[in-house]
Copies of this chain bind each other. A is one copy, B any other.
Amino acid sequence: MFKVKVYTLGRLKEHWLQDALMEYEKRLSRELQIEWIICKNNADLMQRIELESNWIALDPQGQLLDSAGFSKKFMSFLEQFGSRLCFVIGGSDGIPQQILERSRWKWSLSPLTFTHQMTRLILTEQIYRAIEINSGSSYHK
């Protein structure tokens, strides 16, 4: 079982987003478990992330990859870090510099700006897609 933690700021208000995330987490549940760590603010985020040794930062200045490229990278990180991996999604001011600098990898989903909430959904769907690509299923074609 793979375990992914996502550090992020601010609760989910949108009902539709909760439903969407639940759908993908359910599909993933046989192979991967996502734990959402909702931080109060950047100071809280910095304190909590200290307990982790590796994380990936979602950052507009990060690397752009296609889904097959992300799948390869994701699976190789999971192997390297004992089936556990953390992601950090920043708030509206982005991720604090210290957390960015110490991240293992900076990943950009798109040059477009997405809402903080939609980023959660896109990340979850890409994780699901990465697993499906790796297993050779027909989800990604």
Task: List residues of chain A with CB under 8 Å of any chain B CB.
Answer: 14-17, 19-20, 23, 64-67, 69-70, 92, 109-115, 118, 121-122, 125-126, 129, 140-141
Contact = CB atoms under 8 A, between A and B. Distances in A.
Nearest to A70: B112
A115 B121 CA distance: 12
Nearest to A69: B111
Contacts of A66: 111-113
11 contacts: A16-B20, A17-B20, A20-B20, A64-B64, A65-B112, A66-B112, A66-B113, A92-B141, A109-B112, A112-B126, A113-B140
Q: Give how many copies assemble into the complex.
A: 2
A127 to B, nearest CB: 12
A87 to B, nearest CB: 15
Given A67-B113, A109-B110, A118-B121, 20 more contacts: A14-B20, A16-B16, A16-B19, A16-B20, A16-B23, A17-B20, A64-B64, A64-B110, A64-B111, A66-B111, A66-B112, A66-B113, A69-B111, A70-B112, A109-B112, A110-B110, A112-B126, A115-B125, A118-B122, A122-B122
